[in-house]
Structure 1
């Protein structure tokens, strides 16, 4: 096992903060520290509103620019997109955020990967019926669709590369090309829009 990833906890509610810290302390791959020294920050909220989205933005804007994993008690329709647009690297519902899943999301964020459960995205996004196969007249190639499908399923870059017989660099390039072409913020944002457009 390598050096534990420093992770900080941010919450408006001290009870939520204490619960999140307790869960993270059960993960040997992580070390809990002050948010200002963290590589990844876990934001735990009851619901997602303007104050919580500001917390995501403020945390991301810190000098150390930690990746943000958002753990929410509930997410209304459209909240996932707002969280991703604000800079969240991972999303979890609090009822599903046990030590294993939370550690997976934090470790993925530390590696510049995203974790957004497909069922969560499909639940909170209105996937239009009969959506055109493309964004703004564009489209995804079979390779791009295959990579995004695996990202949506929570696979990390190395796993995607191995399963699709690509190099990790190719997988990273494919995702980068998609995010640049459609002006998306990150991998999770790309998956969210692909689901919304009916491409996955």
Structure 2
């Protein structure tokens, strides 16, 4: 086992913060630290509103630019897309955030991967018509499509590289190029928009 990933906890409610800390302390791959020193920050909220979205943005803007995993008690329609657009790299509903799933989301975020459960991804796909305009006139190469399909299936960078016989750096570059070209925030955003636009 390698060096534990430093993870911080941010919450507006002390009870939520204590519960999240307790869950993270059960994960030997992680070490809980102050948010300012974290590689990944776990934001735990009851619901997602303007204040919570500002927390995501503020946390991402800290000097060490930690990746953000958002754990929410509930997410209304459209909240998943707003969270991803604000910079979250992982989404979990609190009822699903046991030690194993939370650790998986944190470790993925630390590797610059993104995790979004299927039911939350469907929320993103159910956005109103026109949400996919960023893809207008765009297309994906066979290589880009292959990489995004495996991202959509939940594979991490190393797994994708192995399956496609690419280097991990090539996989990261492909995803980065897609997100930059279509002005998307992260991998989950790219997959959701590609599916909605019929490019996958």
Alignment of 1:19-34 (within 5 A): 19-34=19-34
Alpha-carbon contact 2:132-2:196 (below 8 Å) kept: no
Alpha-carbon contact 1:160-1:171 (below 8 Å) kept: yes
Which stretch shifts more, 17-26 or 113-122?
A: 113-122
- Structure 1 residues 3, 78: CA separation in 2 closer, same or farther (over 3 Å shift)? same
- Following the alignment from structure 2 to structure 1, what is the Cα–Cα distance between the partners of residues 178 and 15? 40
- Structure 1 residues 135, 45: CA separation in 2 closer, same or farther (over 3 Å shift)? same
- Following the alignment from structure 2 to structure 1, what is the Cα–Cα distance between the partners of residues 134 and 168? 25
Alpha-carbon contact 1:133-1:199 (below 8 Å) kept: no
TM-score by length of 1: 0.91
TM-score by length of 2: 0.91
Q: Deviations over 1:7-61 (max 9, x none)?
A: 0101111111111111100000000111111111000111110000000011111
Deviation at 1:64, TM superposition (A): 1.6
Identify unmatched segments of 5+ residues in structure 2.
Answer: none
SS in 2 for 1:8: strand
Alignment of 1:1-200 (within 5 A): 1-126=1-126, 135-200=135-200
SS in 2 for 1:151: helix
- Following the alignment from structure 2 to structure 1, what is the Cα–Cα distance between the partners of residues 14 and 129? 42
- Structure 1 residues 70, 130: CA separation in 2 closer, same or farther (over 3 Å shift)? closer
- Following the alignment from structure 2 to structure 1, what is the Cα–Cα distance between the partners of residues 71 and 111? 18
Deviant stretches of 4+, over 4 Å:
127-134
Deviation at 1:127, TM superposition (A): 6.0
Which stretch shifts more, 29-38 or 185-194?
A: 185-194
Q: Deviations over 1:124-176 (max 9, x none)?
A: 43167999999111122232222112212221100011122222122112111
- Structure 1 residues 128, 86: CA separation in 2 closer, same or farther (over 3 Å shift)? closer
Deviation at 1:118, TM superposition (A): 3.1
Alpha-carbon contact 2:78-2:123 (below 8 Å) kept: no
Root-mean-square deviation (Å): 2.3
Q: Deviations over 1:112-132 (max 9, x none)?
A: 111112332113431679999
Aligned residues: 200
- Following the alignment from structure 1 to structure 2, what is the Cα–Cα distance between the partners of residues 166 and 64? 29
